[in-house]
Chains A and B, each alone.
Chain A
Amino acid sequence: MTPNAPRYLKETPSQTAGPYVHIGLAPEAAGLRAVGRPLAGDPAAPGCPGRRIAVEGVVLDGTGTPLRDALIEVWQADHMGRHRHPEDPRANEVDPRFRGFGRVCAGFEDGLWRFETVKPGPVPWPGGGLQAPHITFWIVARGINMGLHTRMYFGDEPEANAADPLLAMIEQPSRRETLISRPEPDPGGGPTVHRFEIRLQGPLETVFLDV
């Protein structure tokens, strides 16, 4: 090899997480007694500053059947739009109870998944401007060869969504709607529930991202 020549490696290729992904990433769900402490639950522990919300939904295949073996990871900014990560210039202002990372499993019976968190604030777009509040999703399962990236935006933020640079990149307005939650305010004053269906395939297919 030529000395000092740039050396590039190929990325390790992706393979499906398979039906037993829970053993490694959510051992309690698989039926294992805990091996080590759980790495992730909800992105924001109770008591975090910010407006408390719940997010729930199902992942549907091309026939409309819920996936009962999907595992979803979420990543988000805190209520002021700050990430708990060294490359966020405001990372040291983030409340220690806020992690920003969560992991949830689809229910083995009904495919329903749910997590609680705080509503994120807007975050910068490269080159200027702001992105509307959103939560990043990453979905793996049997039959998914490579984890699918997408985002959930909030149905109760119509003005911010209308100005969001990523949503504006989606050519068809009807496809933008696939990334927007349906908020269901709790009449009892509990956290607003944001419903978010992820459709892997078909006429209402969710927009997936090559990030």
Chain B
Amino acid sequence: MSTPHDYLPRDPAWRTPAFAPFYKTTVHRAPRAPLLSLRNTLSEITGPVFGHDDIGPLDNDLIRNYAQDGEPVGERIILHGRVLDENARPVPGALIEIWQANAAGRYRHRNDRYLAPLDPNFGGCGRTLADDEGRYAFRTIKPGPYPWGNDSNSWRPAHVHVSVFGRAFAQRLITQLYFEGDPLIPRCPIVRTLPDPAGVELLTARLDMNAAIPFDCLAYRFDIVLRGRRATPFENRPEGT
């Protein structure tokens, strides 16, 4: 059997740095020693495989998956896009999990004490699998901005947390999706941890009128790129293979 190819190494100039003192919690939670770099082994090029048995019929519909006696309040939106790798190939079967605050910026979490109210019909959690072309879609409510204890007047832009499993544990990714045109984006210390402004653009979902449903909901498009595999024309070959 030929050796499977490694995943492309992460670009140090593109990677989000661990230490970003203006995001204060990183100060005591960032490792100081450099990471130990290694070639992928079987432990990293494998990872959990999820199937349709893991996903319930309402899991990607946050408008209905926590509804008690009606629908949640807020801007109804579709969030959709594709999961691709760095070689621009789709990643079928990728698991996408999302979580978010409600329209008022309140999270359904025991530790969130913000004074804005919970919505009795909104949980804020969803998951889905990418199809054979890497496409995924959620239906939800656009989250509200949210104040947090960083600086004395820090507010998160409207955002949805996005967690993705590709094919390998080496591709594991958690990120956040922001919404086009939000003036809080450039003011946010968490956004500002990104070293390259082009990265902020990649995390900004675009209004997608073509995917909106007239008289029902708007749509935003958010593509996700996971690490790709190295495909070198000449490969070092261990002896005897």
List 14 extra interface pairs beyond A11-B10, A69-B111, A143-B25, CB under 8 A. Answer: A10-B225, A12-B202, A13-B175, A15-B16, A15-B175, A15-B194, A24-B163, A61-B29, A85-B47, A108-B111, A136-B169, A145-B23, A166-B36, A201-B28
Contact B32 A36 (CB under 8 A): no
Residues of the B chain whose Cβ atoms lie less than 8 Å from the Cβ of A27: 123, 125
Residues of the B chain whose Cβ atoms lie less than 8 Å from the Cβ of A12: 164, 173, 175, 202-203, 224-226
Q: Does A193 contact B (CB under 8 A)?
A: no
Contact A100 B48 (CB under 8 A): yes
- For window 1-33 of A, CB contacts with B under 8 Å fall at 6-25, 27, 30-32
> What residue of chain B has the Cβ atom nearest to residue A9's Cβ?
B225
Q: What is the 8 Å Cβ interface bit string for chain A, positions 173-211, against chain B (1 contact, 0 not)?
A: 001000000000000000000000000111001111111
B162 to chain A, nearest CB (A): 8
Residues of the A chain whose Cβ atoms lie less than 8 Å from the Cβ of B17: 145
Contact A200 B30 (CB under 8 A): yes
Chain A interface: which of B50-58, B71-79, B179-187, B210-218? B50-58
- For window 115-171 of A, CB contacts with B under 8 Å fall at 123-128, 131, 134, 136, 138, 140-148, 151, 166, 169-170
Q: What is the 8 Å Cβ interface bit string for chain A, positions 45-67, against chain B (1 contact, 0 not)?
A: 00000000000000001110101
Contact A166 B38 (CB under 8 A): yes
Q: Does A84 contact B (CB under 8 A)?
A: yes
Other-chain residue from A25, A126, A209 in contact with B35 (beta carbon distance below 8 A): A209
Contact A39 B10 (CB under 8 A): no
The 4 closest A-B pairs by CB, nearest first: A24-B99, A143-B25, A85-B46, A101-B48
* Chain B interfacial residues counted at CB < 8 A: 90
Contact A62 B29 (CB under 8 A): yes
A40 to chain B, nearest CB (A): 7
Counting contact residues on chain A (CB < 8 A from B), the size range is 35 or more
- A208 and B35 in contact (CB under 8 A), knowing A35-B59, A145-B17? yes
Other-chain residue from A14, A61, A126, A170 in contact with B3 (beta carbon distance below 8 A): A126
Residues of the B chain whose Cβ atoms lie less than 8 Å from the Cβ of A8: 86-88, 228
Complex-state Cα separation, A141 to B14, whole angstroms: 21
Complex-state Cα separation, A37 to B203, whole angstroms: 29
Instruction: Report which A residues bind B (CB closer than 8 A).
Output: 6-25, 27, 30-32, 35-37, 39-40, 61-63, 65, 67, 69, 73, 75-77, 83-89, 99-101, 108, 123-128, 131, 134, 136, 138, 140-148, 151, 166, 169-170, 175, 200-202, 205-211
Contact B31 A208 (CB under 8 A): yes
Instruction: Report which B residues bind A (CB closer than 8 A).
Output: 1, 3-4, 9-11, 14-18, 20, 23, 25-33, 35-50, 54-56, 58-59, 65-66, 84-88, 95, 97-99, 107-112, 123-127, 161, 163-164, 169-170, 172-176, 190-191, 193-194, 196, 198-199, 202-203, 224-228, 238
A and B contact pairs by CB, cutoff 8 A, 17 listed: A9-B86, A9-B88, A10-B14, A13-B175, A13-B196, A15-B16, A15-B176, A16-B190, A25-B97, A32-B125, A36-B65, A62-B29, A123-B42, A143-B27, A205-B33, A209-B36, A210-B35
Contact B32 A205 (CB under 8 A): yes
B68 to chain A, nearest CB (A): 10
Other-chain residue from B99, B175, B176, B196 in contact with A23 (beta carbon distance below 8 A): B99
B124 to chain A, nearest CB (A): 6
Residues of the A chain whose Cβ atoms lie less than 8 Å from the Cβ of B3: 126-127
> What residue of chain B has the Cβ atom nearest to residue A136's Cβ?
B43
A14 to chain B, nearest CB (A): 5
Other-chain residue from B29, B125, B196, B228 in contact with A67 (beta carbon distance below 8 A): B29
Residues of the B chain whose Cβ atoms lie less than 8 Å from the Cβ of A207: 33, 36
Complex-state Cα separation, A141 to B26, whole angstroms: 10
Contact B56 A24 (CB under 8 A): no
Complex-state Cα separation, A19 to B238, whole angstroms: 46
Complex-state Cα separation, A75 to B167, whole angstroms: 13
- A14 and B238 in contact (CB under 8 A), knowing A8-B86, A31-B108? no
Contact A9 B29 (CB under 8 A): no
Other-chain residue from B27, B30, B42, B161 in contact with A88 (beta carbon distance below 8 A): B42
